[in-house]
Structure 1
């Protein structure tokens, strides 16, 4: 029944995320359109810079909580007060360091102000991730789902108003700060109500937790360099216009990562409990998780890659069409990211967190090195969007390396015959759809106009769905069975006395 509870929690969170992603994605494509490549580049650079600096304030606590508090419910109160105090001290120091760096680099005053304001947002964002992790560990996500929706509404309305009024660049941070402060207050209330969370200063417990969270912290810091530190480097080595192109298509590609928060929130606690009770169930969750994530993420990724010009033209406008090849480079990354996320969660639940951490540190160093090496020659070779292409290429190489290492670390437990069959069939379907897409282009149905491009994508989509069902890569009976299981989850079991776990799930 734990798996059923986790599934229901995933659906609840997924429902709230769907609403928030509609709002977020709408603004993600509106902001580049309104600001244009140059101003959007400054906005995106400030956002990436503040996030890069505040990597150090995460401390790895949200992952630690999902793993440990999931099996020790009262543990969070022992250390949260001390870690919160440490985060406040770190935030002050990081803001000062960021200001000194920007003054040294000669950053324009309005960009400096925006970056500092977004630094304040980062503090509350990291705090909210910790509070949310406490609720995930206690499997109390109903109020959290409401918080996601309300926060995104505040953020969306405020940012839309700022764009409508053509507010100065620093004011674009105000909706982010307001939404996160609201969420902080709301989550503190929920954690006290449902998790009995108390803030008290216990230096010994705080120190022990920081040591225990060290591998998670290093792993998160390494992962955060991908898409954060590389944006900072791209702006310094190239220019903020390149950052604008890269950030705009990254926003489109980010649509494929809609399930990523659910994986982090639900999968690790569920795997941790399975690892403590049943190794067979532990392995089954891994295999079916990998199978499912490939089935869901591949078609979206394929659609982005094949229709890059169409999506850029439709969503963010003709001004960003030079960045369509960058979107094509980014699209396959997310399938790899999902596989790596599932494998990383399994390794952490299996008390092999340092394997994940070492891999992430390797990737972070490789990503920084590749950006430093590739950006200058790519700029000379491709000119406009050359720097953005170099950053996307660096990230793609790193994701391939990470995925190969993590899958190898798990070994044969990662895939069974069924999962390998699904993987092979899905790859074959993708090859067939890609070939058909290219043939349609030769027949004159290319992406030279928006209408032709959309028509081509519809044909690709129909062909993919038909082939995926015909080959059995996705089993229709299992999908329908899952829907029935969720729909009937509240019906009482006949002739059985429910266990405490079943009673809670009901």
Structure 2
């Protein structure tokens, strides 16, 4: 009888978690589509092309910075929840260090490739946002490991609603694209703060990085980063290669069509 009850509870928990993830994915997809239509239409193909280049550069850099550590942390937190602070803290330390290096290298590469000033500004703004996103990714991975999908989904939808609504309002009020993109920083701050607060409330989270654990995370994540690069590199490299061959207007038309 006990086994039957435990099985039913397990099925119910899986269904509940899957439902929250499905709803949150649907809402965020709808918001992304709305944003992808309104912003490029308002600012035109040249400005959109500049943003697409900066976004592609950061997407590739972000994959390298993340190094697949989130997958390892989700698995290990599920197995050893008592090591939560050590695992997440070590992952955050890695990502913080990698981000500083990656940010500096990307700014230099962008300048050496001769990209325009707006692209350099967009790269800098996205870099600030990505820094917080990388740290939030570690806390998000812990939520998955602890099966805290409801809280994760609610926070994700709430942040997207606030950040995307702010971006759309600024666009309609005819603010600059720089200001619109800066709403990503707002979203990243909210996401990191709310995830941190929830994990501290439910699991007494406070990061305690460990050097040996950080090295172990690097070694364990190596196969994952290779897989992710193979899966995502082409999708982002095409924008960058095209941007080196044609004008930013052409990149804008291509990037918007590709995003939709």
Which residue in 1 is equivalent to 2:194?
A: 186
Which residue in 2 is equivalent to 1:244?
A: 252
Q: Is the 8 A contact 1:111 1:169 kept in 2?
A: no
Deviates more, 1:179-188 or 1:52-61: 52-61
Among candidates 127, 132, 150, match of residue 119 of structure 1: 127
Q: Is the 8 A contact 1:154 1:175 kept in 2?
A: no
Q: Is the 8 A contact 2:92 2:138 kept in 1?
A: no
Q: Is the 8 A contact 1:64 1:216 kept in 2?
A: no
Give the C-alpha shift of residue 182 in structure 1. Answer: 0.6
Which residue in 1 is equivalent to 2:39?
A: 31
Report which of the two structures shows the higher radius of gyration computed on alpha carbons: 1
Give the C-alpha shift of residue 3 in structure 1. Answer: 4.6
Superposed CA deviations along residues 232-278 of structure 1, whole A, max 9, x for unmatched, are 222123333332223212222xxxxxxxxxxxxxxxxxxxxxxxxxx
Give the C-alpha shift of residue 222 in structure 1. Answer: 3.0
Superposed CA deviations along residues 280-337 of structure 1, whole A, max 9, x for unmatched, are xxxxxxxxxxxxxxxxxxxxxxxxxxxxxxxxxxxxxxxxxxxxxxxxxxxxxxxxxx
Which residue in 2 is equivalent to 1:8?
A: 16
Q: Is the 8 A contact 1:60 1:213 kept in 2?
A: yes
Paired residues in the alignment total: 252
Which residue in 1 is equivalent to 2:51?
A: 43
Give the C-alpha shift of residue 186 in structure 1. Answer: 0.6
Change (3 A) 1:237 1:75: farther
Confirm or deny that 1:205 pairs with 2:205: no
Note the aligned Cα RMSD (angstroms): 2.0
Q: Is the 8 A contact 2:88 2:142 kept in 1?
A: no
Among candidates 95, 99, 104, match of residue 103 of structure 2: 95
Give the C-alpha shift of residue 126 in structure 1. Answer: 2.5
Change (3 A) 1:79 1:68: closer
Which residue in 2 is equivalent to 1:17?
A: 25
Give the C-alpha shift of residue 111 in structure 1. Answer: 1.8
Give the C-alpha shift of residue 69 in structure 1. Answer: 2.3
| Larger helix share, 1 or 2 | 2
Instruction: State the SS of the aligned residue for 1:198.
Output: coil
In structure 1, C-alpha distance between the alignment counterparts of 2:75 and 2:231, rounded to whole Å: 18
Change (3 A) 1:219 1:49: same
Structure 1 stretches of 4+ moved >4 Å: none
Superposed CA deviations along residues 325-383 of structure 1, whole A, max 9, x for unmatched, are xxxxxxxxxxxxxxxxxxxxxxxxxxxxxxxxxxxxxxxxxxxxxxxxxxxxxxxxxxx
Which residue in 1 is equivalent to 2:87?
A: 79
Q: Is the 8 A contact 1:29 1:251 kept in 2?
A: no
